[in-house]
Amino acid sequence: MDINKITRQEILELESSEYALSRKDLKKIDLSLNINPFGTSIKVLSKLKNFNTKKIAHYYPENTELIIEIASYMKVSPNQIMIGDGCDGCLEMISHTFINKEDETIIPTPTFHRYEFHTKLMGGTPIFVPMKNFELNTSEVLNKVTDKTKIIFLANPNNPTGLKIDREVKEKIIKNFKGIVVIDEALADATSINGTSLLDKYENIVIVRSFSKTFGLAALRIGYIIANQKIIEQIKKTSSPFKVNGVAQELAIEALKDINHIKKSKEYIQKNREFLISNIEKLGLKCTNSITTNFLVDVSSLYKDSTELIKKLKENNVSVTETSAFRPSKNTYIRLSVASEEENKKFIEILTKIIKNNL
């Protein structure tokens, strides 16, 4: 059998590197993953230890209590919420709902590479709009809109820069575009950002959020979509009734209720982000002024591109993110995510040693 003849053309053209990391890729000092370095709520772990086995042995529907808790947390109506298997699972359902073959999506870069992936998976064409100094230019974005444009993807805060999109910039795009504006707020829980105030004013907004970051539930793969009820009803058609496992939904309820853990997680992330950025800049490298869990570091003052530094870090058992998938304007960046206090300190020690040996 020739597998290439029976595989969709869109699949053949995708890179296999999208698949998950293998265990050998997980380093002792890991600043490559956007997770909560403060850890998981004690209340969540307690619930897990005392979990009702009947809830594991049975199929699990969408949890009404969880939806009500999310609605309260986000200040929206429960009928504006749909649960999904992480932000990426939500992006997949949105793409399946709205992107036809040969449709276009607009993606300001550098940004999260999965917008491109899901567009191509559906046979669509991603249209990239490079930012200048990492700032979104609304005119340039809107000038790319054609009759084929279905979705504009915006990450707020942005991954990999950690920078926010000002409300007036975001609103100008929303009100001047007739298609769907997907606002990815996966990194917003570490900040005060909440885009739901625009939902009553505009019908074309879809917000996606995650429990993987501040809530510390990355391995459970749970997130949610917020939109008007008509959009939610259409997206639900692309979902499975068994989309999100029951354990994840039950534990997400506990995570939302533990306000103290959320507060301490935000403080921990902010403190350690500021530690990393201040110490990296003392070494002569420039960082983006992030407000969330990740940021970019420009290593051009020391290296022609980031490959050499990434290699040296890897030799010292340190993992960071190579940024080509985000489509930055040049190849001199690495992306760092805030890790534990111990890992961050050790990283600075190793980076200092590498730079001193390079001089």
pLDDT digits (tens, 9 = 90+) for 88-133: 999 999 999 999 999 999 999 999 999 999 999 999 999 999 999 9
Secondary structure E strands in the chain: 29-30, 81-84, 104-109, 125-130, 149-155, 180-184, 205-210, 223-227, 286-287, 294-298, 318-319, 321-322, 333-337
The HSE-up count of residue 117 (CA atoms within 13 Å, CB side) is 16
Beta bridge partners of 47: none
pLDDT on residue 241: 79
Helix (H) or strand (E) holding 203: none
pLDDT per position as a tens digit, 146-166: 999 999 999 999 999 999 999
What the block records as the tokens of 181 is: 């504006």
What the block records as the tokens of 177 is: 């575009």
Beta bridge partners of 105: 126, 151
pLDDT on residue 275: 98
Task: Quote the CA–CA distance of 45 and 40 in Å, as a whole number.
Answer: 7
pLDDT on residue 56: 73
Average pLDDT of every residue of the chain: 92
CATH label, 42-258, candidates 3.20.20.370, 2.40.50.180, 3.40.640.10, 2.30.110.10: 3.40.640.10
Same fold, 3-38+260-358 and 42-258: no
CA dihedral 53, 56, 59, 63 (to 10 degrees): 90
Question: What is the gyration radius of the CA atoms in the chain, in angstroms?
Answer: 21
pLDDT on residue 52: 74
Tally Cβ neighbours within 10 Å of residue 340: 16
Task: Quote the CA–CA distance of 213 and 36 in Å, as a whole number.
Answer: 5
Using DSSP bridges, classify how beta strands 149-155 and 205-210 pair: parallel, antiparallel or unpaired.
unpaired
Per this entry, what is the length of the chain?
359
CATH superfamily, region 3-38+260-358: Aspartate Aminotransferase, domain 1 (3.90.1150.10)
Q: Please, what is the angle between helix 229-236 and helix 86-98, to 10°? A: 90
What the block records as the tokens of 350 is: 């190793």
What the block records as the tokens of 44 is: 């969540």
Residue ranges in the chain whose pLDDT is less than 70: 16-27, 54-55, 57-59, 359
Task: Quote the CA–CA distance of 264 and 214 in Å, as a whole number.
Answer: 9
Max CA separation in the chain (angstroms): 62
Closest CA to 163 of 171, 172, 154: 154
Task: Quote the CA–CA distance of 269 and 81 in Å, as a whole number.
Answer: 27
8 Å CB contact between 186 and 114? no
Q: Name residue 156's amino acid.
A: N
Task: Quote the CA–CA distance of 71 and 170 in Å, as a whole number.
Answer: 22
What ranges do the domains of the chain cover?
3-38+260-358, 42-258
Instruction: Write the burial class of residue 241 (CB in 10 Å: 0-12 exposed, 13-18 middle, 19+ buried).
Output: exposed
Which residue do the tokens 């935000």 mark? 266
Helix (H) or strand (E) holding 346: helix 341-358
Tally Cβ neighbours within 10 Å of residue 62: 15
Closest CA to 33 of 265, 307, 336, 318: 336
